[in-house]
Structures are given as structure tokens and as C-alpha cells.
A and B are shown apart, each in its own frame.
Chain A
Amino acid sequence: MNGAHWQGRWDPFRELQREMGRLLEGLDPFQPLRNVRQYPPINVYDAGDGYVLSAQLPGHAPEDVELSITGETLTMRGERKRPEGVKDDSYRRQERPVGRWARTITLPDRVDSAQVAASFTNGILTVNLPKAESAKPRHIAVTAGT
């Protein structure tokens, strides 16, 4: 039995999200990621000052994950190792994926790639992608006309 099946399961929420994505297509800088089911699954948030990318990587230690940025390309790669000393035929049930994985994400040009920072807690990788100065919302003061 091998556990290397990264494909996600059918998920009505994802379908809904996809529909929503179609409506918001013009506004969504991460649009090219849609419709692709890859490992690890990621969510992306707009937190005002920056984007927050979170990836579900249970069973990984921080040293099992490698993160690099080249230009506008963010690459994540890693490996989830099989537990040592557990024979294949001793599995009664195996639903959790194992093996090597890699994923490449093209960042919107509005990200300041020099300031990207990442943390790893409880099996979730969080990557903070600050927006470039020019992409931050600006407050424009309105002065009364004379």
C-alpha cells in the first residue's frame, strides 16, 4: 500500500469558492492558483498591509520544509517521512499522505519579496508577504476648497 496520493477529495466548499472566484476574478491576484489541486493545500488572505499564505503541513518539523523566493516565484518543498520501523503490511488504514512534495507559487508583483517571513506552528506553515509600498492603501486627505 502506498500513501502517496496528494489529490484532494471532492469538497463542496471548494466548488463554492471556485464559483466565487469566477465572480471576483478581476480582483484576485492569486487567480492563477485556482482550479489546481496540489499539495500542500494553501489559503491566502489579504490582511491589509500584506498577504498571508498558510499551508497545511501536519507531521512536518520546521527543518523538513524548505522555502525560497526567486524574483516573484515562491517555492516550497519538503518531505513527509514514513514512520520508521512500521511495516507496510501492518497498516490497517492509511489515509495520510507521505513522500516528497514541491509547490511553486507566483506572487503578485505587489509583494515586497525582500521582506517575506515565515513561521511554522502546529503543522501549519504561515508565510507573511508584505505588500510593496506602492500597493498599500493610502489615505488621501481631502481639504476644503477655498
Chain B
Amino acid sequence: MKINGPSIRVAVGAQPAGPAGPAAPPEPNPESPAAINPPIDIHDGPDGLTLEADLPGATEENLFIQLEDNVLSLHARIQPPAPEGARLLHEEYRVGDYYRSFILSDEVDRDRITAEMRNGVLRLILPRADRARTRRIEIRS
């Protein structure tokens, strides 16, 4: 998967492991060292980028999005889904907190970033800063 364009980069170490190879070391995160790296999509639109992350089990109340310097991080705390005292019989997915971070370039308008959660999917709108929008420059003869 190639990422071109200057607007956003995905932080090194945040990529998921390929199907064949062993998992990459998890993103260091002091709050939750065994956090799950959620899958994401990033797509380009006329006004900026949209980032969507699958966070099944997460709600607005337990989701923390932080922007520090140029690092945007998302962290969701997950409560175990099973009733108290239930015994796990069969496991295909691990239940745990989600964590992933991204490096934003200057072309994202940080003041206008918006987020919404719906059906376990986080959608982050990263509008392009005005000066980064394509402008037509008249050439005078």
C-alpha cells in the first residue's frame, strides 16, 4: 500500500503485520502496553482527508483523541463484554484497549479536525489548511 501526498503520514511502527510474518512490536504506549492496533482507512477528498478506524466496542465516552505537536493519537478503553464470571470458551479476537498514532503534516487544519463514533467506527475529518488547497495562479502575458 503506498502513501503519497504530503498531508498525512502513518507513524512508523503503526503498520499491522502482514499475514505471513510475525507481528511488529506494538506501539509503545505507557498507558496500555498490550493495546490493539486497529485497522484504518484513509481517503482523500476535495476538502481534506477522512480517516476511519474500526474500534468495535468503543464509545464516545471511552475514546480519547489527542493532538500533541504533530502526533495525533487515538486511545479507546474497552470494558470486557462478557458478564462477570463468564468463562472464555473460544477466542478469535482479543478484547483490549485500542491505540494508534499518526503524524500529521502542516497541511492539516488542526483547529477544524472533527470526530464522530458510529457503530464502532471512528471517523476523523482532517480538513486541508487553506494555504494547502490547490490554487490557480494566473499567468499574465
Q: Do A92 and B86 touch across chains, with their CB atoms under 8 A apart?
A: no
Q: Do B40 and A95 touch across chains, with their CB atoms under 8 A apart?
A: yes
**Residues of chain A with a CB closer than 8 A to B94's CB:** 11, 13
Q: Do A14 and B91 touch across chains, with their CB atoms under 8 A apart?
A: yes
Interface size on B, residues (CB 8 A): 49
Q: Do B57 and A124 touch across chains, with their CB atoms under 8 A apart?
A: yes
Q: Do B89 and A51 touch across chains, with their CB atoms under 8 A apart?
A: yes
A27 to chain B, nearest CB (A): 9
**Residues of chain A with a CB closer than 8 A to B95's CB:** 43
Contact partner of A122 among B23, B90, B119, CB < 8 A?
A: B119
**Residues of chain A with a CB closer than 8 A to B121's CB:** 58-59, 123
Contact partner of B92 among A14, A52, A95, CB < 8 A?
A: A14
Beta-carbon nearest neighbor of A21 in chain B: B90
- Contact A59 to B89, CB < 8 A, known contacts A9-B17, A10-B21, A91-B41: no
- List 3 tightest A-B contacts by C-beta distance, closest first: A123-B120, A58-B120, A95-B39
Add 9 more A-B contacts to A48-B86, A58-B56 (CB < 8 A).
Answer: A10-B19, A10-B20, A10-B22, A34-B90, A60-B119, A61-B119, A92-B4, A123-B54, A124-B81
Please name 18 pairs of A and B residues whose Cβ atoms are closer than 8 Å in the assembled complex, sorted by A: A9-B19, A13-B91, A13-B94, A41-B93, A43-B90, A45-B89, A46-B86, A46-B89, A51-B89, A56-B93, A83-B43, A91-B41, A92-B3, A93-B42, A95-B16, A123-B56, A124-B57, A124-B120
Question: Which A residues are within 8 Å of any B CB, using their own CB?
Answer: 1, 3, 7-14, 17, 21, 28-30, 33-34, 37-38, 41-48, 51-52, 54, 56-61, 83, 86, 90-97, 122-124, 126
